[in-house]
Structure 1
Amino acid sequence: MTSLEDLFRCFDTEENRRILKHLDLNIDVLSLIWHHINPFVLNALDYKIQNINRLAQDTSVSPLQRAVTAMGKFGKLSESEVTTPLPVAEAVIRMLSDDCFLSLRDDSCRILDLASKMGEFAIAVCKRCEKMGIDRSGAAASVAAVTTSPVAYEFTRKVYRVLGLSTDSIAAAFYSRDLPEFVDQREDGAQKLTKILTQAKPMCEIKFTDEAAEEEEKAVKFNAVVGNPPYQEESQAESTRNGQKPRRNIFHYFQKQAMLLSEETALIFPGERWLHQSGKGLKSFGKSLINDVRLKKVVFYPDSRELFPATDIPDGISIVVTERTKTASGFEYEYITEEEDIILQRSNPGDELLILNPHDISIVEKAKAFTENYRLPFLHESILPRSLFGIESDFIEKHSDQVRLYTEETGIDYDTEVKLLANDQAGPAGRSRWFVVGREHIRQNREYLAQWQVVVSSAHPGGQDGRDNQIAVADNHSAFGRSRVALKSFDTKEEAEHFRDYAESSLIRYLFLMTDESLSSLAKLVPDVKDYSENNSFLDFTKPVDLQLYRLMQLEDAQIRYIESKVSKKDRESR
């Protein structure tokens, strides 16, 4: 094919009809474009088609290099489908043992990419085989793939052809995003999916409706499962609370399925949310995986742009490697930033949260020792629910005729009314403002209206990602909506202000940064000294809190400088 005209001459074949369907191309629309396009633009387009075809057929370049060149032309297939850069895919494949590749000549052994976009992991597998002296033709049917979408299917299929791999090894009846739904909708769904995917037949023939026979359960052995699976999925239904489409994490489905399927796994997915067991569906998964004896290695990039330059994932990226035959506890941990690459052996943390930056370990250990020595709780235990007063995100919109803006000049009857801090509308466009509402609208936890709360933004309560947590004292005539969360509640203004000073100290702000800011892990490493009155036995609130805390935690000068540099950096980022 050397021109757009050639496309119309060959589209009426089964394969090309499939390609048009998968790429969501309409031949009638293409025909209109062809007949009405500017001749100079058409000439340029035909040249590009001819050039791409020439490159694809260039026998002077090795198939592997042609595949690499083709992949380099694309970064994103869609907003949610970011191709894994080849150096990253190669690094992941290097984390697998040699045994995974030596047995690929066996027809019953395969490596599976659970989320192929452009066959990037297939290219990396072929390069590893080449370095190990393994003939790629002997393993042509042993590199299997489930693709992320119809478009990804066509790209992966093209790369497989260039590499000389069997396109029969690509799933044709389902895509990566179908796997979590399959598991959710069936009892023992993960085990059933394992039986289906390990059937002794080409991957292209496998369907979810297959009834896998028991004797075929292990007919195909996956030496390894690799990939960069989808991280989240968006529901088509609108949220009844804030008008936004809800999203849920799904990457953990792929990790759990991979560990059922294979001897070894090496997957890429967001880091901090699972490492700190935060986010919907991740609490039990994160705790289980970080303590699993099969966990061999975790590579954590706090800045996702180190791996994916065009994509900013707030909680960083992790590469997780497991090995079924591993029996010793602990795992290798690698922490990579632009400035440094730290490798150390870590113990499985049990009920504790893993400290992500190795430089933070000694400081956090001192804070924990102080907390344990004086039998103090952590602040996480006192945080009140975001739904404390039952004010939803759309409250102001729904009751616009029953609320008014609050200003200092506005009169308010505290016997029948309260101040309300809430968003003026649901969704990301909403802005937090003070309103006046009747007390009858506060239908739950009314006893807190007589107390003072120290509140922070529920979106960024710990001040992570360079955001201001908007800490403030809400007086004993105030309520607030879901845009705020109360860290603690007090009977007096004095206690509330002392606690605010405590929470704004450099050390406590630093300790807030040690965990993910989702409410499930917020302040899990922040000591709570409980008494914030003038009678506190640890702190004199008439004096600078920072110096007293440094002394209480027995911090060294170098540690203090490190803490203050981290907090100062956060302040610069939040401006």
Structure 2
Amino acid sequence: MADVYQTLYNPDVLSCLANLSNDEVFTPPEVANRMLDLLPQELFRSPDTTFLDPACKSGVFLREIAKRLLVGLENEIPDLQQRVDHIFHKQLYGIAITELTSLLSRRSVYCSKYPNSKYSVSYFENPSGNIAYKRIQHRWKDGKCAFCGASKTEYERGEELETHAYEFIHTIRPEDIFKMKFDVIIGNPPYQLATGGGTEEKKSATQARPVYNTFIEQARKLNPRYISMIIPARWYAGGMGLNQFRTDMLNDKHITKLVDYINSKDCFQGVDIAGGVCYFLWERDSTCEECQVTNISGTSVTTEVRALNEFETLFVRSNKSIDIIKKVLHKSNRFMPEIVSSIDTFGIPSKEKGHSVKQPGDVELLHSKGYNDQEIGYLSRDMVKKNKDLIDKYKVKISIMVPQGGEVGIKPENGYRSISTPQIVPPGQVDSFSYLNIGFFDTEAEAKGLISYVSCKFVRFLLRSTYSSVHVSKDNFRFVPLVDFKKTWTDEKLYEYYELSPEQITLIEDTMRPMILEGGDE
């Protein structure tokens, strides 16, 4: 009995499952333990501490908690079987997200998928133990679920398929699930669900709605002493329907620790999550103006104590970027969002390719072709739905996508680009939704000046400090100063003007790779 978890732990099936790529990402045991390390360790020495995982997949959190309690309560409850029974019956609770994960979680925790069987390390009268699963139906309103926003066409399903209507967030009274209070709520909730209704050209932006925020909001309703969850970092700056959640998180004085992984692979081996992931510690009985923020990138780890809401509606994830941004804000009072267009400048969808033969009165349409190519088509000026006054300007465009899927797989020592190669869109030519236009000018010289400016490592470093997804938007330019584009800009001029220290210059030079303007992308 004493060695039951050790014998299951090596080789660890949960480590194997954690490497499966899925939106419902399995948590590796080592990550679960790093999250448990954030908690006061005396919690594991009390027979009265109660724990809830509201999104059980593999049962790893409950299993790792059990291992700590088995050691921590050894003096309090010397008899091993009594200690096991007390922990599993009185301290550990979970809510599985599917029927399959309920069985997997019970197998991980009780060593039997049915804890009322003779194989369970702790016997229960019921087949679920304290790891509940109930098939829940979505509550449809106008084609969407009123609780999670899931699409009725996607998730109104027969008995043979999972509904993914997670019990914890499909109730207005989560306290009624177990009818008890919890000291700690910890887990790795599902990240998003398809909402349906997205147009083809905006599919990636509109087809999936986050649900992890709803798990956190429900956990707060239960008012536990501690909350810790691991979630995508996209909430820092963007995300569908996350504006209020972001505001609440950045201004929540109970968040005392935040651990940030810029590259999700540093946390979940082999899993790409655009914008990285983070986990946090929320403490009910502690309020503070500043939070301990830890950045992890490869083998580099930095920790600073700072305010989450320092920049109001956006969280700057990099501790090392803060002082550089402050110098920029001190010396500048106008910034690039004044001239950068909102996405979809001309109201032309990405799927629009125009026609191949130019007709009288047509404008040229620059559109994407395949993965990383573009070509020219033609369309009537009447098909330009927005900003017709900008058609005859010189425009500078970049892709709306961060290069290479958010540069997730880039080795830090090779440097980052932040943006695709900027390109001039001449008068009489427009572009589709695939591109972001970052300036409009009467002269080609000014357009070239902007290209020289945004190609500087300094500018692209400021841009990157705001990224938390694969998309580039107007708001990502919020720290980029607006300058005179009749001049040619270099990093040396910018470093000198903003009085950057040698250490800050080295940071930028080591983080960013040069932008190659002649001959296209590197």
Alignment of 1:184-263 (within 5 A): 184=148, 196-199=173-176, 203=178, 219-235=179-195, 239-241=199-201, 246-261=207-222, 262-263=224-225
TM-score, structure 1 as length reference? 0.72
Q: Which of 151, 161, 165 is the matching residue for 2:100? A: 151
Q: 1:308: how far off?
A: 1.1
Aligned twin of 2:368: 423
Aligned twin of 1:266: 228
| The 10-residue stretch of structure 1 (553-562 or 299-308) with the greater mean CA deviation from structure 2 | 553-562
Q: Which of 56, 75, 88 is the matching residue for 1:140? A: 88
Q: Which of 341, 354, 357 is the matching residue for 1:384? A: 341
Aligned twin of 2:356: 404
Q: What is the alpha-carbon root mean square deviation over aligned residues?
A: 3.4
- Partners of 1:493 and 1:73 lie apart in 2 by 56
Deviation by residue 1:496-549 (Cα, 9 ceiling, x = unmatched): 1211111112211221111115426311211112x423xxxxxx43xx532221
Aligned twin of 1:90: 33
Q: Which residues of structure 1 form unaligned runs of 5+? A: 1-58, 204-218, 406-411, 534-539
**Could you tell me which amino acid in structure 1 is paired with residue 147 of structure 2?**
V
- Partners of 1:355 and 1:267 lie apart in 2 by 20
C-alpha contact 2:446 2:485 (8 A) present in aligned 1? yes
Q: Which residues of structure 2 form unaligned runs of 5+? A: 75-82, 112-120, 151-165, 408-415
Q: Which of 471, 474, 477 is the matching residue for 2:422? A: 471
Identity across matched positions, percent: 22
**Could you tell me which amino acid in structure 2 is paired with residue 64 of structure 1?**
Y
- Partners of 1:434 and 1:192 lie apart in 2 by 48
1:360–1:569 CA distance, 2 compared to 1 (3 A):
farther
**Could you tell me which amino acid in structure 1 is paired with residue 183 of structure 2?**
N
1:315–1:241 CA distance, 2 compared to 1 (3 A):
closer
| The 10-residue stretch of structure 1 (124-133 or 512-521) with the greater mean CA deviation from structure 2 | 512-521
Alignment of 1:272-283 (within 5 A): 273-275=234-236, 277-283=237-243
1:119–1:464 CA distance, 2 compared to 1 (3 A):
closer
C-alpha contact 1:512 1:522 (8 A) present in aligned 2? yes
Name the structure where helix makes up a greater proportion of residues: 1
Query: Does structure 1 residue 164 correspond to structure 2 residue 122?
Result: yes
1:236–1:549 CA distance, 2 compared to 1 (3 A):
closer
Deviation by residue 1:52-72 (Cα, 9 ceiling, x = unmatched): xxxxxxx6x722224434534
**Could you tell me which amino acid in structure 2 is paired with residue 364 of structure 1?**
I
C-alpha contact 2:348 2:385 (8 A) present in aligned 1? no
**Which fold has the larger relative contact order, with Cα–Cα distance below 8 Å and residues 6 or more apart in sequence?**
2
- Partners of 1:338 and 1:117 lie apart in 2 by 27
Deviation by residue 1:100-145 (Cα, 9 ceiling, x = unmatched): 445554xxx6311122111100111112212322533212223111
- Partners of 2:403 and 2:324 lie apart in 1 by 22
Aligned twin of 1:299: 259
Deviation by residue 1:387-429 (Cα, 9 ceiling, x = unmatched): 2211112222xx6xxx117xxxxxx67x6121111235xxx76
**Could you tell me which amino acid in structure 2 is paired with residue 444 of structure 1?**
K
C-alpha contact 2:230 2:278 (8 A) present in aligned 1? yes
1:346–1:85 CA distance, 2 compared to 1 (3 A):
same
Deviation by residue 1:44-103 (Cα, 9 ceiling, x = unmatched): xxxxxxxxxxxxxxx6x7222244345345445673343211111112122223464455
C-alpha contact 1:148 1:175 (8 A) present in aligned 2? no
Q: Secondary structure at the match of 1:497?
A: helix
**Could you tell me which amino acid in structure 1 is paired with residue 445 of structure 2?**
E
Query: Does structure 1 residue 126 correspond to structure 2 residue 83?
Result: no
Q: Which of 445, 455, 464 is the matching residue for 1:504? A: 455
C-alpha contact 2:136 2:167 (8 A) present in aligned 1? no
C-alpha contact 2:19 2:269 (8 A) present in aligned 1? no
- Partners of 1:570 and 1:304 lie apart in 2 by 25
Aligned twin of 2:379: 437
Q: Which of 481, 500, 516 is the matching residue for 1:555? A: 500
1:250–1:144 CA distance, 2 compared to 1 (3 A):
same
C-alpha contact 1:146 1:176 (8 A) present in aligned 2? no
Query: Does structure 1 residue 456 correspond to structure 2 residue 392?
Result: no
**Could you tell me which amino acid in structure 2 is paired with residue 472 of structure 1?**
Q
1:269–1:440 CA distance, 2 compared to 1 (3 A):
same
- Partners of 2:322 and 2:92 lie apart in 1 by 41
**Could you tell me which amino acid in structure 2 is paired with residue 63 of structure 1?**
V
C-alpha contact 2:367 2:434 (8 A) present in aligned 1? yes
Structure number with greater Rg is: 1
Alignment of 1:42-121 (within 5 A): 62-68=3-9, 69-72=12-15, 74-75=17-18, 79-98=22-41, 100-101=43-44, 104-105=47-48, 110-121=50-61
C-alpha contact 1:462 1:509 (8 A) present in aligned 2? no
TM-score, structure 2 as length reference? 0.79
Q: Secondary structure at the match of 2:85?
A: helix
C-alpha contact 1:81 1:148 (8 A) present in aligned 2? no
Q: 1:306: how far off?
A: 1.9
Aligned twin of 1:339: 299
Aligned twin of 2:117: none
Query: Does structure 1 residue 356 correspond to structure 2 residue 317?
Result: yes
Aligned twin of 1:287: 247
1:165–1:279 CA distance, 2 compared to 1 (3 A):
farther
- Partners of 1:165 and 1:319 lie apart in 2 by 34
Q: 1:160: how far off?
A: 2.9
Q: Secondary structure at the match of 2:51?
A: strand
Q: Secondary structure at the match of 2:391?
A: helix
C-alpha contact 1:335 1:343 (8 A) present in aligned 2? yes
